[in-house]
Structures are given as C-alpha cells and as structure tokens.
C-alpha cells in the first residue's frame, strides 16, 4: 500500500515510517522540520519538506505518490506551550489538519486516515481507567485542537465517506534503539527522557511535580506506552479501516498506571546511576492520574501492548540514549 506519514521525521512518526517499511508498505514522508530530524527518515524513503497546512502542496504529494492511506503525526505537542501560545496550536493542529483533509477528500485515492490524538481530550477524568466514551473536557488548547480534529473527522466521515481512526495516545515512551530511533525533543519536557538525563549527568536532578496527590505514593500516575506498540496499533487501525471496519476513536495505552517515583526507581535500577530527585510543586494542569481503558482497541482492532513492562520501556529509552549520546 502507498502511505503518507506526516511528521515522519519526528519521534512517533519516524518509528511509524520504519514499521510501515518493515511490513512492506511504500511510504512518503512530509515534514516541515520544525521539530523533526532528517536522519530519522531512512535513506530511500521519499522525503518532502512541506507544511501540511498547504492544501496545494499536500494535493501534489497525494497525487504524485498515489497515496492510499495517511498517518497524520505532524502537530505541536506541548500542553504548556499551547496555553501560552494558543495561535500556534489552533493554526498548526486544527487549521493545518483541515487543509490536509481538503487534499485527502479531493484526492480520490485515499482510503483511510489515521490521526494522532491524545488522552488530553478527556481533561481531568472523573475516574480511571478512562474509556473512550468518557466526557471530553480538554483543559488546554492542545487538547481542544486535537478534539476539534476528531469532531471534523466524524463529520467528514458521515458526510463524505472518509474512513478514519483517531488514536488517543496516553504517554508515548521508549524507543526502537536497534533501528537508531528514539525520543529527541527540543526542549525536552517528558518525564522519562528527563529522568535519564539526570542519570547521565546531563541534568543535575529531576523535579517531581507534586508529592501529595491522591495516588498510592503521592506522585502523578500515567499510562506509559512503548512507541513500537503505538506503531503496531496504527497498523491494526489501518487493517481495520481497509476491511470496512467502523471509523472511530481508540485509546492507546497499556491499561497500567505508574507513578513518577516508580519511573525514577526503575530508571535507577536499569542505569545503575545515581538519580537525584527534588520534590517540587505540582505543574499547572496536570491531572493526578491518567490510565487508559484499552478494551475497545483490543476488541475492535485486535491490538494490545506487547511491551508494557516499565523495565522494557525505560530500558529501551536508555539504550537509545547510550547509543545516540554515548553517555
Ligand atoms: N513530571 C515530573 N517532572 C518532570 C516532568 C514530568 O514530575 O520534570 C511528571 C508530570 O507531572 C506527569 C508525568 O511526570 O505527572 C508525565 O509528564 P510528561 O510531561 O512526560 O507527560 P504528560 O502526562 O504531562 O503529557 C502526556 C503527553 C502530552 C499529552 C498528555 C495528555 O506528553 O502530549 O500526556 O494528558 F497531551
């Protein structure tokens, strides 16, 4: 199948390119390089430097490469930044995606559209684990824009027959270090890479945002999912849509929650290094606990996370760091 991966030079996108190539699909990557790494796209995979917000450019890519399925990763991803700079998110995540969807709908070739969505569409949950029907109360422009895209997909599906899946990631983590791929955000704000920076000495310490949350050890609980498991879920979603399965949204997580302190403890044991923690105030907008209910993806897509052990997730992230930074 001929596929387009937007944001294919980014963290999850680059792993997806590899996953698609591995199972024999053809891939073209579009990335504007605002956050991507050119060396994350394998040689031989066509790369187009473009903005997904240009319907004209995207129409040309879809036409020139006879694209049949689109995986849309290109987006701004920082919750805090979205609060400070909402224009970047409404334009970059919503307006640009609508422009891409115009090209997709007019292409006549695209049979499936897989959207990177997020647990941030739920806001602070009434209960965990969170199922897909939980009320959507996003608490940041990041979550709002991702939810708005889902709503557009629903309407376009109904009116224009677009087949789509919105995959709501919980906390993407880990790496396919053997393929030379991993997480490289600039600036880095995610917990696991920051903890590993503290282990390597790149940072002096890691701040723990909040130590008296209503959780078992007082620190925030998240559902960390290995990036390679995310990719397998995307392949399963594509198969589902191509088989004529119903469009919709799916949580992607492991269904297990881990606290910040657990992450630090696992990182200490995996790296064998000293990791200094500093108790800090809660970060604005952080819900105490986010854990996915993953039954829908299991039942409908036949997918579940195969790399759910925290030691595997943190271990792969560390192996990537050792390889990429020689720490
Ligand atoms: N944390 C710390 N110290 C840090 C960084 C993070 O204690 O230095 C804590 C946070 O408070 C949170 C947990 O570690 O409890 C994970 O934080 P991340 O920043 O790694 O991830 P988030 O859960 O905040 O964000 C993730 C995705 C977002 C997405 C969001 C959905 O990275 O893209 O889940 O709610 F929007």
Banded model confidence at residue 327, pLDDT cuts 50, 70, 90: confident
Indicate if ligand 1 lies below 6 Å from the C-beta of 185.
no
Q: Whose CA is nearest to atom 11 of ligand 1?
A: 209
C-alpha–C-alpha distance, residues 323 and 14, integer Å = 17
Residues 6+ apart with CB under 8 A from 175: 181, 182, 183, 227, 316, 317, 319, 320
Hey, which residues are catalytic here? 142
In contact, 183 and 255? CB cutoff 8 Å: no
Indicate if ligand 1 lies below 6 Å from the C-beta of 168.
no
Choose which residue among 142, 147, 286 to substitute to test ligand 1 binding: the one with the highest number of ligand atoms within 8 A of its C-beta.
286
Indicate if ligand 1 lies below 6 Å from the C-beta of 291.
no
Indicate if ligand 1 lies below 6 Å from the C-beta of 191.
yes
Q: Whose CA is nearest to atom 12 of ligand 1?
A: 220
Indicate if ligand 1 lies below 6 Å from the C-beta of 171.
yes
* pLDDT of the residue at 135: 98
In the predicted structure, residue 284 carries a pLDDT above the cut 90: no
Letter string b/e over residues 166-186, b meaning 16 or more CB atoms within 10 A of that residue's CB: bbbbbbbbbbbbebebbbbee
Banded model confidence at residue 233, pLDDT cuts 50, 70, 90: very high
Report the 10 Å Cβ neighbour count for 308. 18
The whole model's pTM is what?
A: 0.98
Task: Give the nearest ligand 1 atom to 77 CA.
Answer: 33
* pLDDT of the residue at 175: 98
* pLDDT of the residue at 154: 98
Domains and their CATH numbers in the chain: 2-173+225-252 (3.40.50.720), 177-222+255-325 (3.90.25.10)
* Cα of 327 from ligand 1 centre, angstroms: 24
3-state secondary structure of 136: coil
Alpha carbon 258 to chain centroid, angstroms: 18
pLDDT in tens, 294-306: 999 999 999 999 9
Task: Give the nearest ligand 1 atom to 173 CA.
Answer: 20
3-state secondary structure of 171: strand
Q: Whose CA is nearest to atom 32 of ligand 1?
A: 171
DSSP track, 262-319:
HHHHHHHHHH-S---EEEEPPPTT--SEE-B--HHIIIII----S---HHHHHHHHHH
In the predicted structure, residue 326 carries a pLDDT above the cut 80: no
C-alpha–C-alpha distance, residues 96 and 87, integer Å = 12
Indicate if ligand 1 lies below 6 Å from the C-beta of 189.
yes
In contact, 270 and 311? CB cutoff 8 Å: yes
C-alpha–C-alpha distance, residues 298 and 302, integer Å = 5
Q: Whose CA is nearest to atom 10 of ligand 1?
A: 209
């Amino acid at each position: 199948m001929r596929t387009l991966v937007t944001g294919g030079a980014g963290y999850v996108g680059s792993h997806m390119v590899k996953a698609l190539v591995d199972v024999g699909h053809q891939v073209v990557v579009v990335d504007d390089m605002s956050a991507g790494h050119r060396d994350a796209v394998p040689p031989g995979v066509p790369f187009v430097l473009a903005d997904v917000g240009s319907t004209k450019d995207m129409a040309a890519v879809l036409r020139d490469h006879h694209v049949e399925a689109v995986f849309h990763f290109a987006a701004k991803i920082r919750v805090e930044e979205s609060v400070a700079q909402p224009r970047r998110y409404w334009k970059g995540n919503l307006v640009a995606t609508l422009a891409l969807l115009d090209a997709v709908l007019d292409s006549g070739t695209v049979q499936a559209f897989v959207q990177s969505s997020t647990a941030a569409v739920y806001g602070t949950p009434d209960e965990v684990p969170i199922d897909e029907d939980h009320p959507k109360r996003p608490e940041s422009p990041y979550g709002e824009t991702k939810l708005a895209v889902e709503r557009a997909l629903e309407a376009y599906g109904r009116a224009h027959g677009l087949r789509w899946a919105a995959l709501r990631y919980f906390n993407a983590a880990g790496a396919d270090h053997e393929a030379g791929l991993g997480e490289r955000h600039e600036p880095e704000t995610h917990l696991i890479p920051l903890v590993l920076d503290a282990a390597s000495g790149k940072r002096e310490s890691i701040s723990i945002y909040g130590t008296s949350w209503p959780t078992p050890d007082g620190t925030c609980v998240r559902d960390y999912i290995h990036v390679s498991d995310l990719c397998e879920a995307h392949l399963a979603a594509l198969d589902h849509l191509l088989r004529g399965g119903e469009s919709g949204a799916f949580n992607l997580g492991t269904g297990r929650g881990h606290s910040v302190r657990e992450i630090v403890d696992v990182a200490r044991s995996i790296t064998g290094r000293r990791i200094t923690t500093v108790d800090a105030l809660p970060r604005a907008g952080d819900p105490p606990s986010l854990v996915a209910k993953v039954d829908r993806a299991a039942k409908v897509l036949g997918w579940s996370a195969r790399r759910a052990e925290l030691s595997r997730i943190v271990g792969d992230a560390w192996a990537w760091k050792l390889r990429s930074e020689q720490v």
